Chain A
Amino acid sequence: MLTERYRVRITEEKLNPSDATDFASSERHGATVVFHGVTRNHTDSRKVILLEYEAYIPMAVKKLEEIASEMCSKWDVRVAIDHRLGRVDIGEESLVVAVGSPHRQAAFEAADYSVDRIKQTVPIWKKEHFEGGEIWIGDVDGFRPLEQKSN
């Protein structure tokens, strides 16, 4: 039986990083790199209260799978990517990426690559609720998903 080398999840539940880590682990591996994207209590001088995530779920799953599949073709890795939706309080994870590999360099490189790609192409949006207001986060000038496609 062919064992999948990656899995992706989008959920409103609190993320469980050890679950992603377990998926990415293998007896063949000498390294597991786990990235936690966490709600921070400030943006510049604004005091952040919480973040709220929204997704175009079927397309977001498809894009996350594409990224995980790209990682597996570029490096010898196993990959788990979990993204949370809805309200995410300070200190809680919105994104967990676990990458396991026989050697640390591939695991670090693949994890770094995945977070950049996720931020470029996956249709998930974040609303920042801060003291005195709220704002959808995004940088129009930096958003070029079609150009990224040709990488």
Chain B
Amino acid sequence: MTEVTVLYFATYREQAGVSTERMSVTGDRVNLGELMRKICLEHPNITSESNKIVAAVNEEYQDHDHILNNGDTVALIPPVSGGCQTY
């Protein structure tokens, strides 16, 4: 069992209806992609496909094959503010 804290911001926070929660995934070598799939199942209002969600683990961007540890903080990172025609 791997237990992590999940943080939601901006679009994802509004879609999930929470800003932070604890989440457990069965297994010892759970990767970020598996957690994203579980999050999307539990929060069907998240419209992004799970394999397209960008996430950070303990404040660093990671690929979906990154292995999670108990107690990690995982943040779902929506596209950042400058993606298009700002400034």
Contact = CB atoms under 8 A, between A and B. Distances in A.
A137 interface: yes
Contact of B80 (A44, A95, A138, A146): A138
B25 interface: no
B46 interface: no
**Interface range on chain A: under 10, 10 to 19, 20 to 34, or 35 or more?**
20 to 34
Contacts of A44: 85
Contacts of B86: 37, 119, 126, 137
Contact of A145 (B7, B59, B61, B87): B61
A95 B86 CA distance: 11
B61 A56 contact: no
A125 B75 CA distance: 14
B84 A59 contact: no
Contacts, number: 89
Interface string B43-79: 0000010001010100101110000000000010111
B10 interface: yes
Interface residues of B, number: 25
Nearest to B7: A56
B84 A37 contact: no
Nearest to A61: B59
A125 B80 contact: yes
A75 interface: no
11 contacts: A55-B9, A56-B7, A56-B9, A58-B59, A119-B83, A122-B80, A124-B80, A124-B81, A138-B81, A140-B52, A146-B54
Question: Which 3 A-B pairs give the minimum distances between C-beta atoms?
Answer: A119-B82, A138-B79, A139-B83
Interface of B: 7, 9-11, 14, 48, 52, 54, 56, 59, 61-63, 75, 77-87
Given A54-B10, A119-B82, 7 more contacts: A118-B82, A120-B82, A123-B9, A123-B56, A125-B9, A137-B83, A145-B77
Interface of A: 37-38, 43-44, 53-56, 58-59, 62, 95, 115, 118-127, 136-140, 142-143, 145-146, 149
